[in-house]
A and B are shown apart, each in its own frame.
Chain A
Amino acid sequence: MKTQFSRRSALAKLGGALAGVLTLSVARKAKAVVQKVFVSTTAPNGYDPTKHKWLMCIDDNKCIGCGLCVEACKRENGVPEGPYFRTWIERYIIPKPKPGSDQTRGEALVDSPNGGMHGFPEPPLPKDQIEHAFFVPKLCNLCENPPCVQACPVGATFRAPDGAVLIDPKYCIGCAFCVQACPYGSRFLSPVTKTAEKCTLCYHRITRGLKPACVEICPAEARIFGDLKNLPAADPLQKFYEKNRVQVLKPHLGTEPRVLYAGLDKEVR
Chain B
Amino acid sequence: MTGEVTNIVVEALPQFEGYVFPNEASFHPVWSTLIVIYPYITGLVAGAFIMASLVRVFNVKALEPVYRLSMLTALAFLLCATLPLLCHLGHPERCYEIMTTPHMTSPMAIFGFVYAWYLMAVLLLELWFDYRQDFVKWSKTTSGFRGIIYRALTLGVTDVSEQSVRLDMKMEWILSIVGIPSAFLLHGYVGFIFGSIKANPWWGNVLMPIMFILSAIVSGIALCVFNYIVLTWIRRKTVDMRCLDTMAMFLFYALVVDAVVEGLDVVHRGYAAEEGFAVLQTMIREKLFYTLNIGQVGIGTLLPLLMLGSLQILRRRVPELVRRRMIFCSGAMILLGVLAMRWNVVMGGQFFSKSLRGVMSYKMEFAGQEGWLISAVIMCLPFIILTVLVKLFLSERLPTSGHVPQTSSTTQA
Q: Which residues of A line the B interface, CB within 8 A? A: 82-85, 88, 90, 107-115, 120-121, 124, 138, 147, 149-156, 171-177, 179-189, 193-195, 252-253, 269
Contact = CB atoms under 8 A, between A and B. Distances in A.
Which of B7, B9, B90 has its CB near the most chain A CB atoms (within 10 A)?
Answer: B90
Contact of A172 (B90, B98, B349, B357): B90
B199 interface: yes
Contacts of B26: 82-83, 188
Contacts of A183: 198-199, 354
Contacts of B90: 172-176, 189, 193-195
A107 B31 CA distance: 31
B200 interface: yes
Nearest to A122: B10
Given A110-B7, A112-B19, A153-B106, 13 more contacts: A83-B24, A88-B22, A107-B6, A152-B103, A153-B102, A153-B103, A155-B103, A179-B30, A181-B199, A185-B21, A185-B24, A186-B23, A194-B91
B4 interface: yes
B3 A113 contact: no
B25 interface: yes
Contacts, number: 147
B36 to A, nearest CB: 14
B23 A188 contact: yes
B105 interface: yes
B97 interface: yes
Contacts of B94: 154, 171-173
A181 B195 CA distance: 11
B57 interface: no
A110 B12 CA distance: 12
B4 A107 contact: yes
30 contacts: A83-B25, A85-B22, A88-B22, A88-B23, A107-B3, A109-B7, A111-B8, A112-B19, A152-B106, A154-B94, A154-B103, A173-B91, A174-B89, A174-B90, A174-B91, A175-B88, A177-B193, A179-B23, A180-B30, A182-B199, A183-B199, A184-B21, A185-B22, A185-B23, A185-B24, A185-B353, A186-B23, A187-B23, A189-B90, A269-B357
A154 B353 contact: no
B95 interface: yes
B241 to A, nearest CB: 47
Given A83-B22, A172-B90, A173-B94, A113 B9 contact: yes
B405 interface: no
B116 to A, nearest CB: 15
* Majority secondary structure of chain A interface residues (helix, strand, loop or mixed): loop
Which of A111, A152, A154, A182 has its CB near the most chain B CB atoms (within 10 A)?
Answer: A154
B98 A253 contact: no
Nearest 8 Cβ contacts at the A-B interface: A174-B90, A185-B21, A194-B90, A183-B199, A155-B103, A153-B108, A110-B19, A153-B109
Contacts of A121: 10
A47 to B, nearest CB: 24
* Majority secondary structure of chain B interface residues (helix, strand, loop or mixed): loop
Contacts of A151: 105-108, 196-197
Contacts of A120: 10
Contacts of B9: 111-113
B247 interface: no
Interface in B1-47: 3-4, 6-12, 19, 21-26, 30-31
Given A151-B197, A181-B197, A109 B8 contact: yes
Given A173-B91, A194-B90, A185 B354 contact: yes
Which of B3, B31, B355 has its CB near the most chain A CB atoms (within 10 A)?
Answer: B355
B31 A176 contact: yes
A85 B23 contact: yes
Interface in B185-206: 193, 196-200
Contact of A113 (B4, B6, B10, B102): B10
A32 to B, nearest CB: 15
B141 interface: no
Contacts of B71: none
Given A107-B3, A109-B6, A113-B9, A269 B89 contact: no
B238 interface: no
Interface string B305-341: 0000000000000000000000000000000000000
B7 A108 contact: yes
Contacts of A84: 23
Contacts of B200: 180
B11 A113 contact: yes
Contacts of A113: 9-12
B98 A154 contact: yes
B356 interface: yes
A182 B23 CA distance: 11
A149 B108 CA distance: 12
